Amino acid sequence: MNDLTILIVDDEARMRKLIKDFLIQKNFRVLEAEDGEKAIRIYNENRDKINLILLDVMMPKLDGWSVLRQIRQENKELPIVMLTARAEEQDELFGFELGVDEYISKPFSPKVLVARVEAILKRTSAKLKEFKNYDGIVINSEGRTVTVDGKPIELSFREYELLKYLLDNENIALSRDKILNTVWNYDYYGDSRTIDSHIKKIRHKLGKKGKHIQTIRGIGYKFEIK
């Protein structure tokens, strides 16, 4: 479980510290938020790094249900565990309807909580590896699908291969020749302008997120999130 990051969202500092101490003992990295608004901000700043969220229900500014709804609008796969002092069946059913993976009632044993976190991550790790999120652009390498802010987009075979190559080489300037040799293979003898045509189509399909595909004058293209 090394290098996995957990976001703890709870308005009680003592509770956050208790959970954090036990998670660190298991070599997890930990991020913290004391209210719902900060939780959303931290999630948006670290969406590619967070592997699981421990989310309290009753919090100031923005409650856990609202945080859950916002995250689930764009990320259906991230494991989220609700922590709450309310143990009514209706609350649990409501949580599962919104997309909760586990529902743990307070008080709980920190050791048991960590064990459940490890079990969830082990269960979902294989599935999570199939997906990678680039500022809302989510690519599923197994299903060969792409979504933008939760909405699927249709790409041709070559458009998908080109976009995936750019994403796999994030922040690296790729020459047109290198793109042709890799995406179109070495036996392609066409004009490199075909790349420009495909890039234009991909940018259009990505909408506002198309800005992340940058033209590097005299070289080629680069995918970069600033």
Alpha carbons 5 and 155: distance in angstroms, whole number: 32
Instruction: For residue range 49-94, list pLDDT tens digits in order.
Output: 899 999 998 888 898 889 999 998 888 888 999 888 766 556 666 6
pLDDT of 75: 83
pLDDT of 106: 83
Is 3.40.50.2300 the CATH number for 5-129? yes
The type of residue at 40 is I
The pLDDT of residue 13 is above 60: yes
Instruction: Tell me what the pLDDT averaged over the chain comes to.
Output: 87
pLDDT of 198: 94
Instruction: For residue range 121-167, list pLDDT tens digits in order.
Output: 888 765 555 677 888 898 887 778 899 988 899 999 999 999 999 99
* Phi, psi values for residue 179, rounded to 5°: -65, -45
**Which residues does 93 contact at the CB level (< 8 Å), separation at least 6?**
none
pLDDT of 88: 58
Rounded to the nearest 5 degrees, what angle is found at the Cα of 63, between the Cα atoms of 134 and 21? Answer: 75
pLDDT of 89: 56
- Whether 138 and 47 have beta carbons less than 8 Å apart is answered as no
**Which residues does 117 contact at the CB level (< 8 Å), separation at least 6?**
6, 23, 28, 52, 54, 81
The pLDDT of residue 11 is above 70: yes
Q: Where are the alpha helices (DSSP H) in 35-99?
A: 36-45, 64-74, 89-98
pLDDT of 133: 82
pLDDT of 191: 66
How large is the average pLDDT for residues 183-207? Answer: 83
The pLDDT of residue 202 is above 90: yes
SS3 177: helix
pLDDT of 182: 87
E strands, the chain, in order: 5-9, 29-33, 50-56, 80-84, 102-105, 131-134, 137-140, 145-148, 151-153, 174-175, 213-216, 220-223
Ranges of each domain in the chain: 5-129, 133-223
Instruction: For residue range 177-186, list pLDDT tens digits in order.
Output: 889 888 887 5
Alpha carbons 218 and 66: distance in angstroms, whole number: 47
Q: Which of 1-15, 32-46, 47-61, 103-117 has the highest mean pLDDT?
A: 32-46
Alpha carbons 39 and 18: distance in angstroms, whole number: 18
- pTM recorded for the entire structure: 0.58
The structure tokens listed for 74 are 């764009």
How large is the average pLDDT for residues 23-35? Answer: 94
Asked if the domains at 5-129 and 133-223 fall in one CATH topology, the answer is no
User: In the CATH hierarchy, which top-level class contains the domain 133-223?
Assistant: mainly alpha
